[in-house]
Amino acid sequence: MTHIAATTPIHSGVLEEGTKGFVSDWSSDQLSFKKVPWGKVMMWIFLVSDTFIFSIFLISYMTARMSTTEPWPNPSEVFALTVWGKKVPLILIALMTFILITSSGTMAMAVNFGYRKDRKTTFILLLITALLGASFVGMQAFEWTKLILEEGVRPWSNPMGAAQFGSVFFMITGFHGTHVTIGVIFLFIVAFKVLRGDLDHERPGFLTGRKGNYEMVEIIGLYWHFVDLVWVFIFAFFYLW
pLDDT digits (tens, 9 = 90+) for 129-165: 999 999 999 999 999 999 999 888 998 888 888 889 9
Tell me how far apart the alpha carbons of residues 119 and 122 are, in angstroms, rounded to a whole number.
5
Q: Supply the pLDDT for residue 1.
A: 45
Q: Supply the pLDDT for residue 17.
A: 55
pLDDT digits (tens, 9 = 90+) for 188-199: 999 998 998 877
Percent of all residues in the chain with a pLDDT value above 90, rounded to a whole number: 52
Q: Supply the pLDDT for residue 22.
A: 46
Tell me how far apart the alpha carbons of residues 9 and 213 are, in angstroms, rounded to a whole number.
52
Q: What DSSP string describes 108-129?
A: HHHHHHHHTT-HHHHHHHHHHH
Mean pLDDT on 13-34 = 51
Q: Supply the pLDDT for residue 69.
A: 87
φ, ψ (nearest 5 deg) of residue 80: -85, 150
In sign, the C-alpha dihedral spanning 22, 23, 25, 29 is positive
Tell me how far apart the alpha carbons of residues 166 and 146 are, in angstroms, rounded to a whole number.
13
Top-level class of domain 37-239: mainly alpha
Q: Which of 42, 7, 23 is nearest to 209 (CA)?
A: 42
Q: What's the gap between Cα 237 and its chain centre?
A: 17
pLDDT digits (tens, 9 = 90+) for 197-223: 877 776 655 556 555 578 889 999 999
Q: Supply the pLDDT for residue 121.
A: 95
5 pLDDT tier (thresholds 50, 70, 90) = very low
Average pLDDT in the chain: 84
Question: What b/e sequence results for 22-42 when a residue is b if at least 16 CB atoms lie within 10 Å of its CB, and e otherwise?
Answer: eeeeeeeeeeeeeeebebeee
pLDDT digits (tens, 9 = 90+) for 73-108: 988 888 888 888 888 888 999 999 999 999 999 999
Domain range annotation of the chain: 1-35, 37-239
